[in-house]
Structure 1
Amino acid sequence: MTELEIKNLIEAGLNTQSVEVRGDGHHFEAIVISEEFAGKRPVARQQMVYATVQPEIASGNLHALSIKTLTPAEAN
């Protein structure tokens, strides 16, 4: 998978203000900023993001994704 493909999946599944994905083709890191994270615990936030890419993880197309989640207020 490419960084852009992962970014597009996350943006399609969540109402985000910003998504940044970096990686080397095998291991990726996503920084996701969304109002939807407000009031949610870190694990719940990560589960929301993982849900957007779960089919790719299950198929083996996406091997490793670390996720950092922030609300817009936390990002400033």
Structure 2
Amino acid sequence: MLQQSIESKLETGLLPSHLEVINESYMHNVPAGSESHFKVIVVSDAFEGKRLLPRHRMVNELLADEFKLGLHALSMHTYTKEEWAAQTGGVPESPMCLGGNKL
């Protein structure tokens, strides 16, 4: 449910040419089936001329309601089409969670 909402809002708000929303909750100390930790890879013309912080603010603003509904952490990889085309090694892997209480 939360993943679909994230996908829908980023599709509508940024009109991306490429979008991946990856649920990484399993890498953290949360119950099975959780939707609390995500990685997004977004390629959009909306990022043209913007530095990293304004791009991340755009994404955070679009997902403000999702953070209220339980989205705890969001890893963002935001690119223009040219930046995405220059990616040869892909996006960085997210590390496994090292903290928190075991459930």
Shorter-chain TM band? 0.7 to 0.9
User: Residues 42 and 69 of structure 1 are in contact (CA less than 8 Å); yes or no, is this contact kept in structure 2?
Assistant: yes
Deviation at 1:63, TM superposition (A): 1.5
Instruction: Report how many aligned residue pairs link the two structures.
Output: 75
- Give ranges in structure 1 of 5+ residues lacking alignment: none
CA–CA distance in structure 2, aligned partners of residues 61 and 11 of structure 1: 20
Letter in 2 for 1:56: E
Partner of 2:57: 47
| Structure with more of its chain in helix, by fraction | 1
**Which 4+ runs in 1 deviate beyond 2 A?**
1-5
Taking structure 2 as the reference length, the TM-score comes to 0.66
Equivalent position amino acid for 2:56 in 1: Q
Give CA deviations for 1:45-66 in whole Å, capped at 9, x if unaligned: 1111111101221x23312111
In proportion to residue count, which structure has more strand? Answer: 1
Identical columns (%): 37
Highest relative contact order (Cα 8 Å, sep 6+), 1 or 2?
1
